[in-house]
Chain A
Amino acid sequence: GAGVSQTPSNKVTEKGKYVELRCDPISGHTALYWYRQSLGQGPEFLIYFQGTGAADDSGLPNDRFFAVRPEGSVSTLKIQRTERGDSAVYLCASSLIRPGANVLTFGAGSRLTVL
């Protein structure tokens, strides 16, 4: 596609429920990133994929968070047993692999609200 597409744009769920957030990156972008942004804060890194594999998952806060990219394109961020503290905007970005010069293109984000 022309840009990075994220769905849903808004998700309201109840504490304890399971949530999936989807990201469709720019065609041809091998690298895909998930970030989380709380109100008034900068994006916080969660996980980075190079192709199908998670090359860096050091930002995932705990084992309730998991992400996949099975065919090296679309990625899904999965959150189990959601907590109120998970409420944030989840941003996806993609880029070409350019060591030392990787420019990220971001989607509009998925706003998650856990009641």
Chain B
Amino acid sequence: SQQGEEDPQALSIQEGENATMNCSYKTSINNLQWYRQNSGRGLVHLILIRSNEREKHSGRLRVTLDTSKKSSSLLITASRAADTASYFCATGEQGAQKLVFGQGTRLTINP
């Protein structure tokens, strides 16, 4: 089963613009992670935010977490064509080691 719902399912923007993707989940978590997947390849970890954190930055990535609303957002600033990929949120539930993934957002950056 998949916990997360991601919004939008697909996003197309111009190079240089910012891209924002949202993720909602249902259960109590101890962390939330974002992964990226290029077409036909495995997933690559981008960033992890713990349940007691509200915001985290890594390079051009900014992640927020609102545990009261059970939601997270991923912002990619100054997008590049190479950012074109699918982005997935994944939640680590309390007491469990596995990650539960959302359906993903397909991001297309137009040059």
Q: Interface on A for B, CB 8 Å cutoff?
A: 4, 31, 33, 35, 41-45, 48, 50, 55-56, 59, 91, 93, 97, 99-109
Q: What residues on A are CB-neighbors of B2 within 8 Å?
A: 41-42, 44
Least CB distance, A103 to chain B, in whole angstroms: 5
Docked-complex contact B4 and A42, CB < 8 angstroms: yes
**Binary interface encoding of chain B residues 81-111 relative to chain A, with 1 for a CB under 8 A from any of its CBs, else 0:** 0000000101010001111111110000000
- Give the distance in Å from the alpha carbon of A105 to the alpha carbon of B41 in the complex: 12
Decide if B20 is an interface residue (CB 8 Å cutoff): no
Docked-complex contact A103 and B45, CB < 8 angstroms: yes
Among candidates B41, B44, B101, residue contacting A43 with C-beta atoms closer than 8 Å: B101
Q: A42-B2, A109-B42 are in contact. Are A56 and B88 (CB under 8 A)?
A: no
Docked-complex contact B98 and A42, CB < 8 angstroms: no
Decide if B67 is an interface residue (CB 8 Å cutoff): no
Among candidates B41, B45, B88, B96, residue contacting A42 with C-beta atoms closer than 8 Å: B88
The interface size of chain B toward A, counting residues with CB under 8 Å, comes to: 26
Q: A100-B30, A100-B92, A102-B92 are in contact. Are A45 and B44 (CB under 8 A)?
A: no
- Give the distance in Å from the alpha carbon of A99 to the alpha carbon of B92 in the complex: 9
Docked-complex contact A33 and B98, CB < 8 angstroms: yes
Decide if B31 is an interface residue (CB 8 Å cutoff): yes
Among candidates B1, B4, B41, B99, residue contacting A104 with C-beta atoms closer than 8 Å: B99
Q: A45-B100, A56-B97 are in contact. Are A100 and B31 (CB under 8 A)?
A: yes
Residue of A nearest to B46 (CB): A103
Q: What residues on A are CB-neighbors of B88 within 8 Å?
A: 42-43
Among candidates B1, B4, B44, B50, residue contacting A106 with C-beta atoms closer than 8 Å: B44
Q: What residues on B are CB-neighbors of A105 within 8 Å?
A: 45
Residue of B nearest to A92 (CB): B42
Residue of A nearest to B4 (CB): A42
Docked-complex contact A56 and B50, CB < 8 angstroms: no
Least CB distance, A42 to chain B, in whole angstroms: 4
- Give the distance in Å from the alpha carbon of A84 to the alpha carbon of B101 in the complex: 24
Among candidates B4, B31, B41, B103, residue contacting A101 with C-beta atoms closer than 8 Å: B31
